[in-house]
Amino acid sequence: MTDDESPGLGLDLPELPERPNDEAHYRVLARKYRPQTFAELIGQDAMVKTLGNAIERGRIAHAFLLTGVRGVGKTSTARLVAKALNCIGPDGHGGPTIEPCGVCEPCRAIAEGRHIDVIEMDAASHTGVDDVREIIEAVRYASVSARYKIYIIDEVHMLSKSAFNALLKTLEEPPAHVKFLFATTEVGKVPVTVLSRCQRFDLRRIPAEKLAEHFAWVAAAENVEVEPEALHAIARAAEGSARDGLSILDQAIAHGEGKVTAEQVRDMLGQADRGRIRRLLETLLTGDLAATLEQLDEAHALGIEPGSLLRGLMESMHAVTRAKAGAKADMLQSAEEREHSAELAGRLGWGSLHRLWQLLLKGLEDVRIAPDPHEAATMALLRLIHAADMPDPSALAAMLSGGGTSVAAPAAPSATAPPGAKASVPTDYPSLVDAVEKQGKQLLGVQLRDHVGLVSFEPGELVLKPLKPLGPEFPRELAAAAKAATGQNWQVRLTDEGGSPSLQQQEVMAEERMRSAVLEEQNVRALLDEFPDATLESIDRKEA
């Protein structure tokens, strides 16, 4: 038999498939773009600066605890610290540095996970005291080739109580050549006795704008065209986690055909586009039941998750609330979204915003636990429309205290008056506050509603009692805003005497009076006596 012939019965053996080598084997983006230097670690500048100062001054702790949400770089940071402490530089004579060279043998071995003196352990699968006992025995021996023997324990909170107790003495007084690096997502489960022996670093969620910039850089490195709106959608979905975002980007690249669009990303994640969310919110605020159900059914037919739809509405309401409070707009919002938020902020009062937010939050929980999420979302939006027709708590309290006097429901929110329209002089203090807010003075509106009590009100003259610090320019700014809103000169004076509760306090008191009145009603008392565990969640206007 020659070398070319097969042994045995002379049958042809199947060709074995080639094993993928490291060069041919595809590496997911989350691994391929794992930070290799502290400069590549995004969103953790404060921690990097502290570590750099400690290394430069030789004040290196014997144990570090890295905590934060998933995917912010805890394990990557631990490996970078190991490289920083063991780097010897390209010439072999370097010392600990915050900028490891990445080319010396210790740096390359640690990056490839093969350094004999850098031991990584997953506490999720090594929870017992025997696993910790092996560490305790091994720390007595000096490192083989590195400057420091380093133990990286991931998800350290999963160690058992006995394992933690066994580690305490060694953790408090380890040999000079040993460093411990712990990583955990649930720092609350780590015993205080362990926390007190470690230098703790809280890794922050990475801001969405930084994630979008990072994903754009990765896409360029991969020669993939990604729409800016798609990058923003991925950054939002990542929720501060670089690893989660890179995984979504990886999936989006595979989902597309050479180009990643925002529509593809939304389809892949089951999300609604921002324009759809804005249209649905406008329809809800107008109280159009049929159009709301039609838009909800259309989103369901497109495969948009009901929970995602409600979360989108909550994001919009949050943006409106921030705009009303005068906060800086989200950098990831488009100009159209910012204009829409500002416009709604001028139309909706604080009471309406709070009520809508609470109803959306309750609806999101209903969607999560309901057997049919679509049905739960439908009922949640119908509740939202019904609540929009209800008067505010003070009006309900007036109705109840008036013995059933009819109170007209407020009209649906309408757009602010067009520029150039003649302003009308308010006849009471709440009307003046509304007029000032419609001028875009949201911060003044917050102060007028929450931070002052009314002493006296006359057209052109206002006396207020500060309930919180207002600043020396408050009277002048309010007088200017009131003139711009009404076309009339105003005198604003502050005093420490008299004064009614703030409008916000009055709303709270009115709501409490309303609840008390309803709870004292005979039928309601009988119902609560029959069902002691029942609580009053909301009040229907017609029933009240």
Q: What is the pLDDT of residues 213-228, one digit of tens each?
A: 999 999 888 888 888 8
DSSP SS3 for 152: strand
The amino acid occupying position 262 is: A
Residue among 204, 210, 201 at smallest CA distance from 245: 210
Radius of gyration for the alpha carbons in the chain, expressed in angstroms and rounded: 32
Cα(231)–Cα(208) distance, rounded to whole angstroms? Answer: 10
Listed in sequence order, the residues at least 6 apart from 377 whose beta carbon sits closer than 8 Å to its beta carbon are 296, 306, 307, 309, 310, 363, 367
If one counts every other C-beta atom within 10 angstroms of the C-beta of residue 88, the result is 20
Q: Which tokens hold the place of 139?
A: 């720390």
Q: What is the pLDDT of residues 137-194, one digit of tens each?
A: 988 888 888 899 999 999 999 999 999 999 998 888 888 899 999 999 999 899 999 9
Q: Contact at 8 Å (CB) between 263 and 248?
A: no
According to DSSP, the residues that pair with 464 across neighbouring strands are 454, 494
Give the count of alpha carbons within 13 A of 472, CB side only. 0
357, with CB counted inside 10 A (0-12, 13-18, 19+), is: middle
Cα(312)–Cα(98) distance, rounded to whole angstroms? Answer: 42
Residue 497 has what DSSP assignment? Answer: S
User: What is the second-level CATH architecture of the domain 29-202?
Assistant: 3-Layer(aba) Sandwich (3.40)
Confidence of residue 15 (pLDDT cuts 50, 70, 90): low
Cα(1)–Cα(323) distance, rounded to whole angstroms? Answer: 86
Q: For residue 477, is pLDDT > 60?
A: yes
Q: Which tokens hold the place of 288?
A: 């159009």
Q: What is the pLDDT of residues 108-135, one digit of tens each?
A: 999 888 899 999 998 888 888 888 888 8
Return the CATH fold of 275-388: Zinc Finger, Delta Prime; domain 3 (1.20.272)
Say if domain 424-544 classifies as CATH 2.40.30.
no
Give the count of alpha carbons within 13 A of 544, CB side only. 28
Average pLDDT over residues 241-262: 84
According to DSSP, the residues that pair with 65 across neighbouring strands are 182, 200
Cα(336)–Cα(72) distance, rounded to whole angstroms? Answer: 31
Q: For residue 405, is pLDDT > 60?
A: no
pLDDT for 409: 38
- Kindly report the average pLDDT of the chain as a whole number: 81
Domains of the chain, residue spans: 29-202, 208-269, 275-388, 424-544
Q: Which tokens hold the place of 306?
A: 């009901």
Query: Pairing mode, if any, of strands 118-122 and 149-154?
Result: parallel
pLDDT higher for 421 or 323? 323
Residue among 39, 370, 73, 111 at smallest CA distance from 238: 73
Residue 38 to residues 57, 183, 322, Cα–Cα distance (Å):
18, 17, 34
Residue 26 has what DSSP assignment? Answer: -
Cα(133)–Cα(120) distance, rounded to whole angstroms? Answer: 15
Cα(237)–Cα(414) distance, rounded to whole angstroms? Answer: 33
User: What is the second-level CATH architecture of the domain 208-269?
Assistant: Orthogonal Bundle (1.10)
pLDDT for 404: 41
Residue among 373, 370, 245, 236 at smallest CA distance from 312: 236
Q: How much of the chain is in helix, strand and coil states, percent to nearest 5?
A: 50, 10, 40
Q: What is the pLDDT of residues 264-300, one digit of tens each?
A: 887 777 666 778 888 898 888 888 888 889 999 988 8
Q: Which tokens hold the place of 480?
A: 């200017």
